[in-house]
Amino acid sequence: MLLLMSAKRKRPRVPWLSLVMVPICLLWGIRSFWSHDVLAWQSLEQQQNSLIRTSYGIDIERLGVGVFYHERVAPPRDRATEREFFQTTAPGLTLISEEASDRKGDWLYRIGFGVDRELAEKPAFENFVRARIAIWLIAILFAIRPLRTILSARAKRTTPDEATAQAQGGGT
């Protein structure tokens, strides 16, 4: 009985996650040409005589998906900047969708790769870091498993089984 169970061929499992993620990545990549989507965690902190706005998260723009960290400090006694912080910052998890930037980067940026770093100390301290990878590359990585499953199933159907070949050939 155990031999019969081990002799049965296991049917390959369908990689459902990959099959769902490939079209999502491709559609989001196409959408990224005209839309900049940001999923960020934002916070405001009061320290002595200044206000600090911190945000970090994931953004998708111009064929790239990236992680970022942005920190900005309001200058002491600058009520206009503090008011702007309170009006534009929603503490916690935030989804922002806006028009894509018109940045004319080098060819790596245009195909989805890049590292950005900006540091400004005047008039107020501001720190921004972002690393991006191409969303089409992520779609290709998700597509590997389904393609392997399809190709292996096709190869098994086209090549005759060893037992069938021996039966047809006379059992030599």
pLDDT reported for residue 2:
52
Give pLDDT < 70 ranges for the chain: 1-12, 159-172
Alpha carbon distance 68, 117 (integer Å): 10
pLDDT reported for residue 56:
97
Q: Could you tell me if 28 and 34 are in contact, meaning their C-beta atoms sit under 8 angstroms apart?
A: no
CA atoms within 13 A on the CB side of 37: 12
Burial class (CB in 10 A: 0-12, 13-18, 19+), 32: buried
Please report, to the nearest 10 degrees, the dihedral formed by the alpha carbons of residues 12, 17, 20, 24 taken in order: -140
- Single-letter code of the amino acid located at 150: I
**Mind listing the pLDDT tens digit for each residue in 35-53?**
999 999 999 998 888 888 9
pLDDT reported for residue 7:
52
pLDDT reported for residue 127:
94
Q: Could you tell me if 150 and 158 are in contact, meaning their C-beta atoms sit under 8 angstroms apart?
A: no
Beta strands 64-74; 50-61: pairing state:
antiparallel
